[in-house]
Copies of this chain bind each other. A is one copy, B any other.
């Protein structure tokens, strides 16, 4: 299976649409250019911290893989990144995060107030651009997804009960929080393709998104600060329950369970305790289990691609699976 091939970089994945991604960045810049100084300053910061364009990449690849060449795809790719940026700004505000992608977040650099308003600004700009495309279909998909993501955020707030949060709760959470937008990117890319292809790409995106998020949560247990851009064990420190802990917890000794409870009661858990819980999670197979689940979703994404005809874009979508589960961030 291709996703087991080592060493796939994001650059490999993006190769078939590299030119278009340059245009997406320029388009994004033109969309959020504003006449108001404060909005302008925040936008400039957001453009600087702009990420890897993973969702626009998937949208454009899905578009090509479904055999389409519609000029609206570029604009849709910019809009999906805009929606992603809007959710990041609000997520960071909700989490009081200070750093994102190695740069200060809007809430830390400007203020909490500005990040709430800017998130709204970016999202309503995205809706304006969608309306301009003069087609209700992408609006239908993307409004549902953004709503689903807010429900996911609500679930996240409920995910601080260390011993009561179950695997099915976690799956629901990451499905609504992450997989929904990745699936929407792929579906919107294939919006004007025949329904079977649109459906296949949606399934691909959903499984890919699940694999991507499980891997992300796993990296928080396995990678140090230098690699992930944030300190390892950060989720535990923020009292976020993710799959490795959920999977290992039933095998914990009584003393290990008490240690987890203590950690989740402390506003600022000492690094030593975080380290001990991480060791327990590893010892009781939590990392292995999470790896298996990510691999299972990767296989599901792979299978969905079978329904598409062979193409360079399809190969790149297959590479994206490898990238999602093997990346070191």
Contact = CB atoms under 8 A, between A and B. Distances in A.
B117 A143 contact: no
B116 A90 contact: yes
Contact of A150 (B93, B120, B149): B120
A228 B146 CA distance: 36
Interface stretch (A1-9, A14-22, A70-78, A134-142): A134-142
Contacts of A120: 90, 119, 123, 146, 149-150, 153
A207 to B, nearest CB: 23
28 contacts: A34-B151, A36-B151, A38-B154, A38-B157, A38-B158, A90-B116, A90-B120, A94-B113, A112-B112, A113-B157, A117-B154, A117-B157, A120-B149, A120-B150, A121-B147, A121-B150, A124-B143, A124-B146, A124-B150, A127-B146, A128-B143, A128-B147, A131-B136, A131-B139, A131-B143, A134-B136, A136-B136, A139-B139
Q: Copies per complex?
A: 2
Residues of A in contact with B, size category: 35 or more
Nearest to A39: B154
Interface centre among A39, A139, A150 (most CB of B within 10 A): A150
Contacts of A139: 127, 131, 139
A230 interface: no
Given A121-B154, A124-B147, A125-B147, 17 more contacts: A34-B151, A38-B157, A90-B117, A90-B120, A93-B116, A94-B116, A111-B157, A119-B120, A120-B123, A121-B147, A124-B143, A124-B150, A127-B127, A128-B143, A128-B144, A131-B143, A139-B139
A327 interface: no
Interface of A: 34, 36, 38-39, 90, 93-94, 111-114, 116-121, 123-125, 127-128, 131, 134, 136, 139-140, 143-144, 146-147, 149-151, 153-155, 157-158
Contacts of A157: 38, 111, 113-114, 117
A155 B124 contact: no
Contact of A154 (B36, B128, B140, B153): B36
A123 B85 CA distance: 17
B94 A117 contact: yes
